Structure 1
Amino acid sequence: MARYLFTVWPFVGHINPFMSVARALKARGHEVAFYSSESTRATIEPQGVVLFPFNHLREAPIWEAVQAAETRATLGWHSPRLLIRAFRDWLAGTLPEQVADIQEIIEEWRPDVVVTETGMWGPIVILGETSPVPVAILTTLMGCLIPGPDAPPGGPGLPSPRTFRTRLLAKAVTKLGDVLAVGVRRHVNMIRASHGLAPMESSVNAHMARLPLYLIPSVREIDYDRRDLPPSVHYVGPCVWNKADGAPAPAWLDQLPTDEPWVHVTEGTAHYQDPVVLRAAARGLANLPMQAILTTGSQRDPDELGLGPIAPNIRVERWVSHSDLLPRCSVLVTTGGAGTVLTALQLGVPLIIVPTHWDKPDNARRVVEAGASLRLTPRRCTPAGLRAAVERVLNEPSFRLNARRIARIMADHPGPVGAAELLESLAMRSSTASERAETLAH
């Protein structure tokens, strides 16, 4: 039996894939603990997982940075300086507190492996080199952040660098990102110096290639079919967990007509901007020969969003389990959160993605290049624009066929069980190395 410490930010789309792997490890007889917010206790502890809440790390600046980056951004466009400021204040700014907290947990609980997300930099840039416990990455993203010639730089959703023009564009954006991130890297290197570490000569993303294991809950076919990654990187397929699994589906689902296609429209669980997608759907899909199910997110009251008169073929709810709803749907309209997109593809449902912020433009680009989605910019997400996009995806078989092709590929990947096996192998290698070192010392 081994112990695994998962370090993860308290966002639903981050907690869920981590919990899917945690449950797989527990089923194999291991112990798992999470380092996250106190607010996640009601989600984490019922799964038989220990929670070590943030102690030195203060949460208020995190939420302020995230909400500021979202609410101040124009729909579909993040100012690079705004993103850099968020990374400086959040990912880099909390480094000393992350490290202090996790070091205390390592001393008290003695895990065999630390499993971190790509946005929790403490284990990646400090503890991976100062702690005897190996650090693995389980990304919450759809692709690998380690830079390479097969993929564009993350952020704006650039096309894959397969032509002279797109390669030149990728190089230019990479150079701009490096210039803008100088201050963030300087701060990270100051923290590294305080722990006796040499300065990083590359970006944090490039530094991730030095860790022994990098798990991606996706498939290569929707990560630009990359062949330029180190052997530490493994595509394990979707790692999906839904805390409502096992609960009965809402009765009203069985009351909707089944002789018309169903279209699900969602802006995700946490959306702080204008509800442009829901509003366009409520108006653009009204009175068409389809059933549209709109979900607002549990934190928003549907009556306060100004969606206007709701037509008989449209249903508005705060939340519906994707495991209950998506298998019945012909199209999913989403802003492009990784968990939502991967769940749809796992079920073979084609998408329309209206990317808003963070990793969503990149997610849209990946699925569009795989032929399973249309990308609709927020500015073009008008009632007429969304209606035309939905009708096109419904009427052109290629979207459905490509989504089902991706679903078959995903079905051939091991998912959470495969991730658990790779983590077990890392723990075993680390244990063997430690035993060998002790033997030599004696």
Structure 2
Amino acid sequence: MTERRLTVLFVPESAYGPTNNCVGIGDVLRRRGHRVVFAAEASWKGKLTALGFEEDLVELAPPSEGEQDAGQFWKDFIRDTAPEFRKPTIEQLETWIKPVWEELIAGVKYCEPQLRQIIERVQPDVIVEDNVVCFPALLTAGKPFVRIMSCNPLELRRGDVPPVFSGYPAADRSGWAEFREAYDRSHRALWEEFNAWVVEQGAQALPVLDFIHEAGTNLYVYPEAADYERALGPAWHRLDSSVRETDEKFVLPEELRDGDGALIYFSLGSLGSADVELMRRVVGVLSGTPHRYIVSKGPLHEEIELSPNMWGAEFLPQTSILPVVDLVITHGGNNTTTEALHFGKPMVLLPLFWDQYDNAQRMDELGFGVRLDTYRFTDGELTGTVERLLADHTLWKRLADVGAEIRRRDGLRRAADLIEGAASSTT
């Protein structure tokens, strides 16, 4: 812990997962007396100052008319492209994964001048990015740079691991080469163009087919108990979890307090819940079970009607809810996956896009949860999986031990220590 008051500039991706991760770490740094500034996307206006941070926000595209909800662009993008999620992952490379990279790159190029101005105004001692794409301004500022990889452990393409975005098993290599070749075909031209632009801005060339550099200090959010067998290297530092402490306290609603059955949390994330048809399907199946459900309804909450054994809202304090539930039904986003492990909860996983296939597969093959086919599961498969996991007391004990060890390692404060160390190493 440094005695010098630092100015820390966080640049998170405009989605709840990376932003909440940075909020958790930033809150520790703020309470240690450091100045914490967020160069988040403009739709987060006011939401970060409410937590005690400074905001110096960026536009990733020409401003829209009227006020937008936080991360609204990606919510709309997910809603409009949801039919793509029904395809095998190898078919999504051209029609979904590549368009996401294109949107991310367009945002990088649009905000590059803004970021340079923000850095000039803020004068940070250290810059922290939690994203999957390179912002050259952050690398050419002459400041210590810390990268957080909080999205998907397979982004770190090191060791004998399945291809990122594939959702393929670690024990079956039969499709790996075909998937990697398809990724190369669909993405190489885009990568070459972006890499040339990055170099033009004064940054180093990107690693081949990667859209972001490794930094001198890299924070890697994934529990060792769930990770793949591989060496991280001296520049990589594991955070077994990064669970924010800024969520409000959760009080179980009266209508769920005295009910029978288990207490289950259902969330497809702020983006996945924009698929209203899928939300309604899951809610409908679960309505016939004897259990109680807390439902994160998401941005289109008014279109989702819950049954009497359920309670929910648009936004919920997830990290305050997870400790009190018995089971988690999730899309498999990295934040929810690692937070469920942090609190020792079994999972039913319904992956939709990006990192979720890989996390769902990993939880399934390790026995920490069950991956279902998100758009083809039968009613009996979902309800039967819920009952089986609730009855597996051996798994409950195993996950309780895993969670206790993750919490003991305290990734949140380890991250703050490493960021302080990165800033101090150049002074």
Give the TM-score of the pair, scaled to structure 1: 0.84
Change (3 A) 1:82 1:68: farther
- The equivalent position to 1:383 in structure 2, one of 374, 379, 382, is 379
1:305 alignment partner in structure 2: 304
Tell me the distance in 2 between the aligned counterparts of 1:268 and 1:403: 22
Deviation at 1:374, TM superposition (A): 0.6
2:135 alignment partner in structure 1: 122
Q: Is 2:85 the partner of 1:74?
A: yes
C-alpha RMSD over aligned residues: 2.7
**What pairs up with 1:72-221 in 2 under 5 angstroms?**
72-75=83-86, 77=88, 79-123=92-136, 127-128=138-139, 130-143=140-153, 145-160=155-170, 162=171, 165-166=172-173, 169-196=175-202, 199-200=205-206, 202-204=208-210, 208-209=213-214, 211-221=215-225
The 3-state SS of whatever aligns with 1:42 is coil
Change (3 A) 1:17 1:169: same
- The equivalent position to 1:230 in structure 2, one of 230, 233, 237, is 233
1:290 alignment partner in structure 2: 291
1:53 alignment partner in structure 2: 57
8 Å contact kept, 2:58–2:114: yes
Deviation at 1:146, TM superposition (A): 2.0
The 3-state SS of whatever aligns with 1:422 is helix
Change (3 A) 1:373 1:243: same
Deviation at 1:421, TM superposition (A): 0.5
Deviations 1:91-132 (A, max 9, x none): 222232332222111222111111112324214xx642x331
Change (3 A) 1:322 1:96: closer
Deviation at 1:316, TM superposition (A): 4.8
Tell me the distance in 2 between the aligned counterparts of 1:416 and 1:233: 15
Tell me the distance in 1 between the aligned counterparts of 2:290 and 2:207: 57
1:341 alignment partner in structure 2: 337
Tell me the distance in 2 between the aligned counterparts of 1:37 and 1:43: 11
Write the letter of the residue equivalent to 1:260: G
**How many percent identity over aligned positions?**
21
Change (3 A) 1:265 1:196: closer
- The equivalent position to 1:331 in structure 2, one of 327, 330, 335, is 327
Deviation at 1:402, TM superposition (A): 3.2
Tell me the distance in 2 between the aligned counterparts of 1:46 and 1:120: 27
- The equivalent position to 1:423 in structure 2, one of 404, 419, 422, is 419
8 Å contact kept, 2:285–2:379: yes
Deviation at 1:25, TM superposition (A): 0.9
Deviations 1:387-407 (A, max 9, x none): 111111112234323322320
Deviation at 1:153, TM superposition (A): 1.7
Deviations 1:230-277 (A, max 9, x none): 21111122222265424x6254266333x5322222222232224425
8 Å contact kept, 1:144–1:216: no
Q: Which moved more, 1:196-205 or 1:9-18?
A: 196-205
Change (3 A) 1:267 1:76: farther
Deviations 1:356-415 (A, max 9, x none): 112111111222233210111113333222111111111223432332232023123122
Write the letter of the residue equivalent to 2:267: T
Write the letter of the residue equivalent to 2:358: D
Write the letter of the residue equivalent to 2:284: A
8 Å contact kept, 1:215–1:419: yes
1:435 alignment partner in structure 2: none
Change (3 A) 1:76 1:59: farther
Write the letter of the residue equivalent to 2:298: G
1:16 alignment partner in structure 2: 20
Tell me the distance in 2 between the aligned counterparts of 1:37 and 1:200: 24
1:438 alignment partner in structure 2: none
Instruction: Structure 2 unaligned segments of length 5 or more: list them.
Output: 65-71
**What pairs up with 1:221-300 in 2 under 5 angstroms?**
221-224=225-228, 226-241=229-244, 243-246=246-249, 249-252=251-254, 255-257=257-259, 260-270=261-271, 271-286=273-288, 288-300=289-301
Tell me the distance in 1 between the aligned counterparts of 2:156 and 2:392: 35
Deviation at 1:355, TM superposition (A): 0.8
Change (3 A) 1:384 1:417: same
Deviation at 1:28, TM superposition (A): 1.8
Deviations 1:58-82 (A, max 9, x none): 3669548833774341336552112
Deviation at 1:22, TM superposition (A): 0.4
Q: Is 2:341 the partner of 1:366?
A: no
Q: Which moved more, 1:388-397 or 1:186-195?
A: 186-195
Tell me the distance in 2 between the aligned counterparts of 1:250 and 1:412: 26
